[in-house]
Structure 1
Amino acid sequence: MELRAWCAALCAGIMGLVGCGDSSGQNQSGGAGASGPGSGGTAGGGQGQGGDIFGGQGGDPFGGQGGDPFGNGNGGANGGTGSSGSNTMGCEHVDVVFALDNSQSMDEEKEEMRDVVFPAFARALLQIGGIKDFRAAVLDACPRPANFHTRGAAGECSFQSQKPWMDSSSSEIEREFQCAADLYAEDVECSGDSDDEQPASAVAASLEPPFSTGDNEGFLRDDALLVVVAITDEDEQPVPAQRPQEIHDRLVAAKGEAKNVVFLGIGGREDCDGVYGSADEADNLQRLVDTFAADDRGFFWDLCAGRLEDGLTNALTAIEEACTEFVPTVN
């Protein structure tokens, strides 16, 4: 898919953060539509459920279109129909943490994130007129240490924020995304024998002492939605061992409210040789997603299907609803 087409679609989808609807559906690439206030056409010209978060796209994220940012339905471009949806202001701030498995088997995925997904995601976020700002931090899947990355393989990223995270005010946000995604992990203590494949655990550790009171201090904001993106081609393998519910509880504790956290897990739905090479079944990661799905805050994308950009696009459904129901933390 051309970057221009992907970016345009994601830009349109993520605008739902400020126009949150209330209907729901299911979305996989070429399947039923993503959650949203309406219905749209599938890639084959039929009618898909849900549509995009304006009430438009169904099936393929780039198929039928319906609905505008104000909730007015339009005919789907490939045969679907759009219906009306609500438009209410949601959250105004978003804090995003990406954790990537940095093992050698992840080279294809890391290249896609660095060269396609991260830059396009940055451009899409900059198109949002209804939120005041966003922050984005990156770390590898080893929690020792769980400090946010401020350098890539080629050297220091020199974030304009002068913090260990990127800020939407940066005039070089795309370059910063690309630098941080090209992971530098020479300073980690994990051995590489499975214990460096615990992205969700690494995020939890980054938001807890001593890291949340050390180098990462100040990242989490009381009035911001927390979005966690965990990516691995094996499985979540915490060291020491933890149940998925325990990792869920650690992430929620950082925000104080389960509805204020959106979790996107990207891994193999089963053992496969996929678009990005082989992947193991990510059973623990899928069960962790399920703990967030109870509050409609969890989303899993099958790495075997490829198209990482679609995984982020479809996760916007959960982000949209979370923004609608966001409850600022009261200290």
Structure 2
Amino acid sequence: MDLRACCAALCAGMVGLMGCGGDSGTNGSSGSPGGPGAGGVGAGQGQGGDTFGSGGDPFGGGGDPFGNGSNGANSGAGGGTNKSGCEHVDVVFAVDNSSSMEEEKESMREVVFPAFAQALLDISGIKDFRAAVLDACPSPANFHTRGAAGECSFQSGKPWMESTSTDLTSEFQCAGDIYSGDVQCSGDSDDEQPASSVAAALEPPFATGENAGFLRDDALLVVVAITDEDEQPVPRQQMQAIHDRLVATKGEAKNVVFLGIAGRNDCDGAYGSADEAEDMQQLVDTFTADSRGFFWDLCEGRLEDGLTNALTAIEEACTEFVPVVN
């Protein structure tokens, strides 16, 4: 699937998300039957039968992704005045760079990263985002400014990408060709801890050093962690501890969306073999109490669908965003 087709597919998926009802389970594929959209009584009644419990008509009867107005307008039949609580999103992708991940990395680099970037900007109320990429080894946990082929030369002049870049697709493709030439992990399972790597990247010394300035007080944090094995923190930590570390960077659990992509069971799937990722699933579960966690089964393939599910949580999280007060 080329990028243009994938963007169209993601945008079509987002149209189906408008006026969504209910919460989602850890697989991102369940949802309560759709009730009235966020726009008020004028919003359509959801069918509850599709992946997201979307509204009955093509627009969920609610207009934009927050149910405001009709067909994207800010007012209309029962439209209301609900607006996004956040206008900015900070995204961190952590990708297991082991040799068994070649198919997944190709999909992320060529299709998923660029399409996800476009889909973020299509969410009503979001003005901009920044995105950083790192591998699954937290030593070091600095954001990548190069891919396997060389320097990415981000227009931002920072170790992350900005949505204002005029060459964002190429920047994503460069960084998505994961570089691990500086890792200090042994490769004996200690380089397969993507969520732990993100936590380390957002904590001192990296948050005050190489990655300084990335997190914004007025931005929602979105973490995407992908591995074909499991989250294997070194030294060993409980998944709740990793959850708490990520939440601490934002001060409020509702300000963090976490998408874990791994195998639900041992399988030979669309991207090759994957191990059952019990810990990654447990980590996702720690975020589901606030409707901020999604798990996508790598065995099912279609990584673009997994990120589409994350967009659902991003939309909801933006309506409940609590800015950090210093």
Structure 2-normalised TM-score? 0.85
In structure 2, the partner of 1:310 is: 305
The 8 Å contact of residues 20 and 87 in structure 1, kept in 2 or not, is answered as no
User: Matches of residues 103-182 of structure 1 in structure 2 within 5 Å?
Assistant: 103-128=98-123, 130-182=125-177
**49 and 280 in structure 1: CA distance in 2 versus 1, 3 angstrom threshold:** closer
Q: 1:187 to 1:16 in 2, by over 3 A?
A: farther
SS at match of 2:223: strand
Query: Is the contact made by 1:24 and 1:35 (CA closer than 8 Å) also made in structure 2?
Result: no
Partners of 1:27 and 1:33 within 8 A in 2: no
| 1:101 alignment partner in structure 2 | 96
2:194 paired residue number? 199
Tell me how far 1:21 sits from its aligned partner: 5.4
Segments of 5+ residues of structure 1 without an aligned counterpart are 42-46, 58-63, 75-83
Deviations 1:29-71 (A, max 9, x none): 9x65698645359xxxxx537444xx368xxxxxx77446344
Within the alignment, does 1:88 sit opposite 2:82 as a pair?
yes
Match of 1:39 among 8, 30, 46: 46
Deviation at 1:324, TM superposition (A): 1.0
Counterpart of 2:235, as a letter, is P
**1:242/1:26 CA distance change after superposition, 3 Å:** closer
Moved more, 101-110 or 121-130: 121-130
| 1:9 paired to 2:16 | no
Match of 2:260, SS? strand
CA spacing shift, 1:96–1:114, aligned 2, 3 Å: same
2:265 matches 1:266? no
Change (3 A) 1:40 1:86: farther
In structure 2, relative to structure 1, the CA distance for the partners of 1:130 and 1:188 (3 Å cut) is same
Q: 1:224 and 2:224 equivalent?
A: no
Q: In 2, Cα distance between the equivalents of 1:118 and 1:177?
A: 6
Report if the CA contact (8 A) 2:137-2:185 is conserved.
yes
Alignment partner of 2:249 out of 254, 270, 275 = 254
Q: Tell me if the contact between 1:263 and 1:298 (Cα under 8 Å) persists in the aligned partners.
A: yes
Q: Post-superposition shift, 1:128?
A: 4.2
Contact 2:128 2:164 in 1 (8 A): yes
Q: 1:229 touches 1:265 (CA, 8 Å); kept in 2?
A: yes
Describe the superposition over 1:186-243 as per-residue Cα deviations: whole angstroms up to 9, x where unpaired: 1110111100000000000000000000010000000100000000000000000000
Aligned residue in 2 for 1:48: 50
Q: What is the aligned-residue identity percentage?
A: 72
57, 63, 69: which one pairs with 2:63?
Answer: 69
Per the TM alignment, residue 8 of structure 1 is displaced from its structure 2 partner at its CA by: 2.1
**C-alpha contact 2:26 2:281 (8 A) present in aligned 1:** no
